Amino acid sequence: MILIQHLTFSYGDGTFRLRIPELTFESGRSTVIVGPSGSGKTTLLNLIAGILPGAGGEVNVGEFKVHGLDENARRLFRLRNVGQVFQDFQLIDYLNVLDNVLLPCRIHPSVSVTKQLRERGRSLLQSVEMSAFEHRSVTQLSQGERQRVAICRALLLSPRIVLADEPTGNLDPVNAERIVELLLSETERSGATLIMVTHDHSLLKYFDRVIPFEQFLERRGVDKASGGAS
């Protein structure tokens, strides 16, 4: 379970201040966060992943108190427990499809690219119907294909949490639904907790839970927080 309590975070200029009194995410369930641009959705994902250090409050992910970890420990926590899918895919151009999927192993301090992991990568690609593109450069793929590769990369090390930051932002409605279904089926199969951020309200129906996010944002000293979400 992910438990966030009394979390506050602001950027340097003070115009943006996130304040979450309490927020929980059940293990193995899918949650979608919606809200306007700049409402702090991505910031929340970065705080859960440990990319940003919390300024105050607690971010507890299972037994990990992410808020209390130093940068190196947060990095290891992220590498071992979190799979991330980004809006703009962020694939590495100079690696082929399979190597992009295997990237988390190549940057992992204690995991090496074994035959089993290669097979796992191939199996993930097969599950998203991308096995024929295994050796192709990612620059030759369509947007939908690239996002599928990014999802395989996020799932490679069987993370406990999958954070998807507007993964359908660049996709047409048909491909967007396919990507969401894929994310849901893959996380359901591995038992991972899925937290997805989106603007697209047509996708909300696929998720166990929907969190409207603007309630947590304070702008220019105006407090819009109204307590915990459900």
Partner 1 sequence: MKNALYLAWRSLAWHRGRSVTILLSLAITIWLPITVRMVLDQFRREISERANATPLVLGARGSRIDLVLHALYFDSLPPAETTMAEMEPVNELSAASAPAVAIPLHVRYRTQSRPGIEGFVIVGTSPEYLEFRNLHIASGRMAGLLGECVVGANVAQRMQLRPGDSLLSAPRNAFNLASDYPLKMSVVGILSAAHSPDDDAVFTDIRTTWVIDGIGHGHQNLNPQTDSELLLKSDAESGSVTANAAVLPYTEITPANIDSFHFHGEPSTFPLTAIIVVPETDKARAQIMGRYLSSNATTQCLKPPEVIDELLSIVFRIEQLAWICSVAAGLVTSLLLGLVVNLSMRLRATEMQTMFRLGCSRLTIAMLHGAEILLLLLGATTLASAAALFTLHFAARVLRSMLF
- Which of 103, 204 has the CB closer to partner 1? 103
Listed residue (226, 218, 163, 184) closest to 23, CA to CA: 226
Nearest approach in angstroms of CB 51 to partner 1 is: 6
Exposure of 165 in the CB half-sphere (CA atoms within 13 A): 19
Residue 166 in the binding site for partner 1 (CB under 8 A): no
- Which of 37, 112 has the CB closer to partner 1? 112
Binding-site string for partner 1 from residue 10 to residue 49, where x marks contact by CB under 8 A and - marks none: ---------------------------------------x
Nearest approach in angstroms of CB 79 to partner 1 is: 3
- Which of 55, 113 has the CB closer to partner 1? 113
CA distance 143 to 199: 18
Residue 52 in the binding site for partner 1 (CB under 8 A): no
Nearest approach in angstroms of CB 74 to partner 1 is: 9
Show contacts with partner 1 in window 62-121 (CB under 8 A). Answer: 72, 75-76, 78-80, 82, 84, 86, 90, 92-95, 99, 103-109, 112-113
Backbone φ and ψ of 74, nearest 5°? -65, -35
Nearest approach in angstroms of CB 147 to partner 1 is: 14
Residues paired with 84 in a beta bridge = 163
Query: Which positions lie near partner 1, rule CB under 8 A?
Result: 49, 51, 72, 75-76, 78-80, 82, 84, 86, 90, 92-95, 99, 103-109, 112-113
